[in-house]
Amino acid sequence: MSAEIHITAQQVKELRDKTGAPWMDCKIALNEAKGDMAGAETVLRKRGLASAQKRAGRATLEGLIGSYIHAGGKIGVLLELNCETDFVARTDEFKQLAHDLAMHVAATDPRFLSKEEVTPEILEKEKEIYRAQALASGKPEKVVERIVEGKMEKFYEEVCLLEQHYIKDPGQTVHQVIASSIGKLGENIAVRRFIRFKLGDTSSNQLPGAGA
């Protein structure tokens, strides 16, 4: 039998401060990771994703509008974040998430909420560009499609909010951050839509989310 790993209260506190996860969940994750902090964070993220998948079908009829105004008042974002109950919508954690996601949108200017929101016309146009680039560089046709697939994944990361790397923690995507919050708050959470205003720009985004 392997020796039991001794986890200190300070380690649990450090992980809790980093992730916001409940105390006992942090202790369990640290035990599973044999005291390794990075490994424990990974355990918590995976648990959050599993929890999110279980709750994905639940209706999200409550929530709030998060907002963020960039310094100087040149850029502003409104973002609708939904959850299952008004109780969760009024928690500090949920309010902070809505604000942080709005701030993320202000910084990254995503064109779409998710992969599913990208129109077929735009997808085909991007694929044609990547195919032409690959062929022009002398790549054999049999590997061109694999190159195009890789380029499309990068495209999604750049233009789809849920696929973008979170500005406050580039090691996670926005989707993973939301999944982690679902695990902590115990309810389904979803971005429904957002709009980003830039002073003088008449093409500001207003994008529907899932179920809009």
Largest Cα–Cα distance in the chain? 67
Q: Which residues pair with 161 in a beta bridge?
A: none
**Per-residue DSSP letter, 117:** G
Query: What string of pLDDT tens digits covers the 212 residues of the chain?
Result: 345 578 888 888 888 777 666 677 788 888 888 888 888 888 877 776 555 566 666 777 899 999 999 978 999 999 999 999 999 999 999 999 999 999 999 999 999 999 999 999 999 999 999 889 888 888 887 788 888 888 999 999 999 999 999 999 988 899 989 988 888 888 889 999 999 999 888 765 544 444 33
Alpha helix positions (H), 114-198: 120-136, 141-159, 174-185
Which domains occur in the chain, in start order? Answer: 9-55 (1.10.8.10), 62-114+160-208 (3.30.479.20), 119-157 (1.10.286)
